[in-house]
Chains A and B, each alone.
Chain A
Amino acid sequence: MESARSHRKSIANDVVSTLPLYRSAPALEVRLEDFTLFAMDRLRVLKGISDGLSRGKKTEEMEQLAKDLWRANMRHPQASEVVNKDIISHFVLRLVYCRTEDLRKWFLPMETALFRYRFRHETAEAQRSLMAEFDLSYKAVSNSEFESVKDKLCQVARSIGMSLPTADAIFYKVPFEEVPELVAGRRVFIHKGHAYVASTQVVSLVATQFRSHLSKALILTNRKWTSTIREQEKDRLAPIVEALCTSYLGPDYSQPKGFSEISLKDIDDLVKSSFPLCMRHLFEKLREDHHLKHGGRMQLGLFLKGVGLKLDDAIAFWKAEFSQKVGAERFDKEYAYSIRHNYGREGKRTDYSPYSCQKIISSTPGAGDHHGCPYRHFSEENLRAALNKMGVDGRAVENVMDKVQNRHYQLACTLTFEAVHNSSCDSGINHPNQYFSDSQKILQSKDGKGISTLGNKKRVPLLFP
Chain B
Amino acid sequence: MTREEVEGGRDEMEIDGCEQREANAIPEGFDANYLKIYYGKLFPHADIYKWMSYGNDGKHPGCDQSYFGRREFSFTLENDIYLRFQSFYGAYELENSIRENCPVKIDIGPVYSVDPAKRRAYAQTGDNVFTPVERELIFDIDITDYDDVRYCCSGADVCFACWPLMTIAIKVIDTSLRDDFGFNHILWVYSGRRGVHCWVCDGKARRLTNEQRGAIADYFRVYKGNENSHKKVSLTGHALHPFLARSYTEVLRNFFELKLLPSQNLFSTEERYEKILDMIHDESVKSELRGKWQENRRSTSKEDINVIRWEQLKILLQSGKQKGQGLRRGIEEIVFSYTYPRLDMEVSKHMNHLLKAPFCVHPKTGYCPLLNNSQYGLPSATLYILAFIFQLCTIGTLGVYPLKVALFSISSVLGHVCVPIDPKKCEEFDPTTVPTLSKLLQELNMEGAKSEVENDWDKTSLGKSIRFFRTSFLQPLLKSCKEEIESSYKTKLQHSKNSINW
Interface residues in chain A, defined as those with a beta carbon under 8 Å from any beta carbon in chain B: 152, 155-156, 158-161, 176-177, 180-181, 183-186, 189-194, 281, 285, 294, 329, 332-333, 337, 346, 364-370, 372, 374, 377-379, 382
Contact = CB atoms under 8 A, between A and B. Distances in A.
B483 interface: no
B346 A159 contact: no
A52 to B, nearest CB: 21
A375 B346 CA distance: 23
Nearest to B148: A367
Nearest to A333: B80
A370 B228 contact: yes
Given A159-B237, A378-B228, 11 more contacts: A156-B241, A159-B239, A159-B240, A176-B181, A180-B215, A181-B215, A192-B182, A364-B224, A366-B345, A369-B227, A379-B231
B250 interface: no
Contacts of A369: 226-227
**For B148, B226, B244, which residue has the most chain A Cβ atoms within 10 angstroms?**
B226
B181 A190 contact: yes
Contacts of B214: 180, 184
Given A177-B208, A184-B219, A337-B3, A366 B342 contact: yes
Given A180-B212, A183-B215, A379-B231, A367 B239 contact: no
B214 to A, nearest CB: 7
B219 A377 contact: no
B113 to A, nearest CB: 14
Interface in B241-287: 241-245
B310 to A, nearest CB: 23
A159 B242 CA distance: 9
B34 interface: no
Interface string B134-169: 000000000011111000000000000000000000
A379 B228 contact: yes
B299 to A, nearest CB: 33
B242 A189 contact: yes
A366 B208 CA distance: 24
B100 interface: no
B499 interface: no
B228 A332 contact: no
A167 to B, nearest CB: 20
Contacts, number: 116
A369 B345 CA distance: 12
A337 B239 CA distance: 46
A219 to B, nearest CB: 10
Nearest to A176: B181
Nearest to B237: A159
Interface string B211-240: 110111011010111111111100001111
B11 interface: no
Closest 10 CB pairs of A and B: A193-B182, A180-B215, A184-B218, A365-B226, A158-B239, A379-B229, A192-B182, A184-B215, A159-B237, A183-B215
Nearest to A378: B228
Contact of B239 (A155, A176, A378): A155
B229 A155 contact: no
B47 interface: no
Interface of B: 3-4, 80, 144-148, 179-183, 204, 208-209, 211-212, 214-216, 218-219, 221, 223-232, 237-245, 342, 345-346
B181 A161 contact: no
B227 A158 contact: no
Nearest to A294: B346
A180 B211 contact: yes
A291 to B, nearest CB: 11
Contacts of B145: 366-368
Nearest to B178: A192
A191 B183 CA distance: 11
A152 B242 contact: yes
Given A159-B238, A177-B204, A366-B345, A374 B228 contact: yes
Contacts of A382: 228-229
Given A180-B214, A190-B181, A155 B342 contact: no
Contacts of A192: 179-182
Contact of B229 (A177, A332, A377): A377
Contacts of A365: 226-227
Contacts of B345: 364, 366
Given A183-B216, A379-B231, A372 B243 contact: no
A177 B212 contact: yes
Contact of A378 (B204, B212, B229): B229
A274 to B, nearest CB: 22
A370 B208 CA distance: 30
B228 A158 contact: no
B225 A155 contact: no
Nearest to A211: B211
Contacts of B4: 346
Contact of B237 (A160, A180, A333): A160
A193 B177 CA distance: 9
B208 to A, nearest CB: 7
Contacts of B230: 379
A368 B147 contact: yes
**For A180, A332, A365, which residue has the most chain B Cβ atoms within 10 angstroms?**
A180
B348 to A, nearest CB: 12
A337 B179 CA distance: 40
Contacts of A191: 179-180, 182
B223 A367 contact: yes
**For B144, B180, B238, B241, which residue has the most chain A Cβ atoms within 10 angstroms?**
B241
Contacts of A156: 241-242
B219 A158 contact: no
A366 B226 contact: yes
A378 B225 CA distance: 9
Given A176-B181, A367-B342, A159 B241 contact: yes
B226 A372 contact: yes
Contacts of B237: 158-161
A333 B148 CA distance: 28
A367 B343 CA distance: 10
A332 B80 contact: yes
A379 B183 CA distance: 38
Contacts of B218: 183-185
